[in-house]
Amino acid sequence: MNPKATLHMANGKKIVIELLPEAAPNTVNSFIFAAKGGYMDHHAIQRIVPGNWIDMSYTAFGAKECQYLIPNEFQLNPEIEPLDSHPGCVCMGGYGEAGLASCEFFFPLRDCPDHKGIYPVFGKVLEGMDEIYRLEKVKTIPVDFPIEGVEVNEPVEPEIIDHVELEFYGKDYPEPVRVENPELPVCWTNIWND
């Protein structure tokens, strides 16, 4: 069985995700590393773009341990055919040629054919789409963001991941392959995080 992650929200709701190692193995390993380390716990969702996506973080969950990049999944594993990105999927964000984010995952709110082969689909939502669609509609305020052309809106009232529960069904998942000496994105810099 594939591993499962349950995001327990502070409001008592949950989002249950089946992770898909056969579709994006290194991305799954990176997500597991961050979730298992507790770096997502007590984190307020940072970016909601109605009609497009919900980004859980753009600061690597505020953890130095998560400020690393991973290689593009399909350059690392060219034999894997990328999955289509659409509502009900879980995708990993990225920073262009620099690499994929360590754990900055998002939920697409529309079909995103332009993401195929760039932002890997590494999971599917088994339960909790109602919570994702509720999040899309919460009141937000714009955030002054250091990357030009990127729209960032954060919830007025924080929407918090209380904790993430993992189920591995007896399997082990290694640490992810990381990009060596990456140029880290400006939204991870100490100035932005302070």
Using DSSP's 3-state secondary structure scheme, residue 175 falls into: coil
Q: What is the pTM of this model?
A: 0.93
81-168-174-82 Cα dihedral, nearest 10 degrees = 10
pLDDT number for residue 190 = 54
Evaluate if residue 193 carries a pLDDT over 60. no
| Average per-residue pLDDT for the chain | 94
The span from the CA of 103 to the CA of 3, in Å, is 16
pLDDT confidence bin for 152, thresholds 50/70/90: confident
Domain residue spans of the chain: 4-193
DSSP state for residue 99 in the 8-state scheme: -
61-81: burial string, b at 16+ Cβ within 10 Å, e else: bebeebbbbbbbbbebbeeee
pLDDT digits (tens, 9 = 90+) for 61-113: 999 999 999 999 999 999 999 999 999 999 999 998 889 999 999 999 999 99
Superfamily for domain range 4-193: Cyclophilin-like (2.40.100.10)
Residue that wins the pLDDT comparison between 182 and 2:
2
Evaluate if residue 189 carries a pLDDT over 80. no
